[in-house]
Amino acid sequence: MITTKIIEPASSAYDYQLLIGRILEQPLKYKPNAEIVYRDKSRYTYRDLYKRVSRLANLLTGHLAVKPGETVGIIDYDSHRFLEGYFAIPMIGAVLHTINFRFSPDELVYTINHAEDQVLFCHKDFLPLLESLQHRLEKVRSIVVLADENDVFITSLNHDGEYETLLSQQEDEYSFPDFSENSVATIFFTTGTTGLPKAVYFSHRQLVLHTLALTTTLAALNSVITISSEDVYMPFTPMFHVHAWGFPYVATYLGMKQVYPGKYEPRMLLQLKRDENVTVSHGVPTLLQMIINHPDADKTDLTGWKVTCGGSALPRGLATKLRARGMNVNVGYGMSETGPVVAISYLDQQK
């Protein structure tokens, strides 16, 4: 360790912390009227998103009595509700556990117990699964049901109520605290090794720096995939998997219109592509294959759709087919332990 000349801060200087809430501040300044869309069911602006994040924070710290450092799990498809959890949970100093609903029952029990989840937000589709596991969950004290409008659900679980109903009862203002940027923000589990899933966690600082690095890579370089605040974002990588590769934080930081498809259905993904003018997405080759081979793909203009492919190698035949439809495709590499993006291919637009 070398000795350098240090500039000592003034006693009155603010020690700026890299917290996830800083990401959400940006669209409120520059793109407050851009929309957050969920399937064909709801849409609201970034102003509304902040109010809903504040309502969720009030619900968490009030009725659900979540304390800083406690863990809150979410079992859901890609949705606006998941996005709200991406912010509200770490912003109150709690830890967000993004739960992989594709795990086996034993793996689910292990990960929920190992993460020490105190509260679970669970989509109604997964209630039967939780019912079968409830007596094996060691620390879960509260369950909130996630359901779309007019959805009916019946469960034997002792739950605290339905998400939208509970949110409507909360104030839409919350004074988010300052705390150390090295605080744990998220936890999830990877099966990329032998044995039981392994826990991976990230601090606020790590996630903010990942967001800034990924934004710089994709927004500053003039490549086949160059993004901006004018793009429309839709993921088809699960939000439970490494923060959907970090793209929801990037899309929020840039104030993009965001479109969340819920359960992955090629017909719905293509409908949203058409109706919402989606321009930026990311996913694995299998899902891209399902989309491009769906009958609705023939009546959908895919020209200029910027898609980052990862998770496994992009087959040459699929890449050729996507390019033939006018899509701009690149590939990325990463690991759960790296948050996840390590590298993204650079393809010059001029070539």
Percent of the chain with pLDDT over 70: 99
Q: Domain for residue 2, yes or no? A: no
User: What is the value of pTM for the model shown?
Assistant: 0.96
Top pLDDT among 4 and 346 is at: 4
Cα 100 → chain centroid: 13
> Which one of 167-181, 217-231, 329-343 scores highest in mean pLDDT?
167-181
**Distance, CA of 304 to CA of 254 (rounded, Å):** 19
Please, what is the Cα angle at 219 between 186 and 215, to 5 degrees? 15
Note the pLDDT of residue 253: 98
**Distance, CA of 201 to CA of 143 (rounded, Å):** 23
Q: Which of 200, 225, 243 is the last residue of a domain?
A: 200
Which one, of 255, 184, 251, lies nearest residue 214 by Cα?
251
240/306 same-domain check: yes
Q: Domain for residue 193, yes or no? A: yes
Q: Which of 181, 200, 219 is the last residue of a domain?
A: 200
Least confident range of 231-235, 258-262, 275-279, 332-336: 332-336
Which one, of 90, 87, 110, lies nearest residue 248 by Cα?
87
Note the pLDDT of residue 34: 98
216/323 same-domain check: yes
pLDDT at 199 over 60: yes
Q: Domain for residue 12, yes or no? A: no
Buried b (16+ CB within 10 A) or exposed e, 111-146: bbebbbbbbbbbbbbbbeebeeeeeebeebebbbbb
| 13-41 residue pLDDT tens | 999 999 999 999 999 999 999 999 999 99
Answer left, alpha or beta for residue 232, where phi above 0 means left and psi between -120 and 50 means alpha. beta
242/230 same-domain check: yes
43/80 same-domain check: yes
Q: Domain for residue 349, yes or no? A: no
145/236 same-domain check: no
Residue 335 structural domain: 204-344
170/251 same-domain check: no
| 48-98 residue pLDDT tens | 999 999 999 999 999 999 999 999 999 999 999 999 999 999 999 999 999
Q: Domain for residue 177, yes or no? A: yes
Note the pLDDT of residue 321: 95
**Long-range contacts of residues 299-306, Cβ cutoff 8 Å, at least 24 apart:** 300/270, 300/273, 300/274, 301/274, 301/326, 302/273, 302/326, 302/327, 303/327, 304/279, 304/328, 305/273, 305/278, 305/279, 305/281, 306/224, 306/225, 306/226, 306/227, 306/231, 306/279, 306/280, 306/281
N-terminal to C-terminal alpha carbon distance within the chain: 45
**Distance, CA of 175 to CA of 253 (rounded, Å):** 20
139/106 same-domain check: yes
- Output the domain CATH number for residue 297: 3.40.50.980
Q: Which of 159, 182, 200 is the last residue of a domain?
A: 200
Q: Domain for residue 284, yes or no? A: yes
Note the pLDDT of residue 349: 63
